[in-house]
Amino acid sequence: MMFHAALLRGTQSATRALRSYDAAVVALAASCPQLESVIGYFNFTIDGATFTGESELTDAIVAQVMLRPEAAELKSMDLEDCELITDVSIIAIVEGCPQLKSVNLTRCSLLTDVSVGALAVCRPRLESVTIDDCELITDASVAVLKAALPDASVIAMISV
């Protein structure tokens, strides 16, 4: 049985609304063990989790999602345009998703070389990594990732 919830974004100040929204999603995910998606926030499928375009997604939400039993079965994670997540989230994903094969980090602007190093630990499971427009990730760490995952498709477009 699939459960869904929709959360409406308030018209308060951006900071207060973000904290409120973050707390609401964390509380909802924690109290509803069968929740599979929050419309406009995340969507779990049998194989993956999609957070694309969720500019309000925070490390707190990712940490809560990683506590869910189905996180261990996730094979793909799409975090495109999730501008508030940090290396803390990527480490939680690497630790919480042993089946992870594909990850998209396009325009995750707060991620650093620490995230790339954490992904290199996934070897040989990772088959596809997309790193695009992540300003704090260097070419050197991408080279290390490619060396650690020689059979994976690593797409990296580093902004300077």
pLDDT at 18: 43
pLDDT at 93: 93
- Residue owning tokens 């990732």: 145
pLDDT at 49: 77
CA distance 55 to 80: 9
Q: Which of 82, 103, 84 is nearest to 93 (CA)?
A: 103
C-alpha separations of 92 from 12, 26, 160 in Å: 30, 15, 27
pLDDT at 32: 61
In sequence order, what are the residues at sequence separation of 6 or more whose Cβ sits closer than 8 angstroms to the Cβ of residue 80?
51, 52, 53, 104, 105, 106, 107, 108
CA distance 110 to 82: 9
- The model's pTM: 0.74
Domains of the chain: 39-157 (3.80.10.10)
98-140 per-position pLDDT tens digit: 989 999 999 999 999 999 999 998 777 899 999 999 999 999 9
Task: Mark the ranges of the chain whose per-residue pLDDT is less than 50.
Answer: 1-19, 37-41
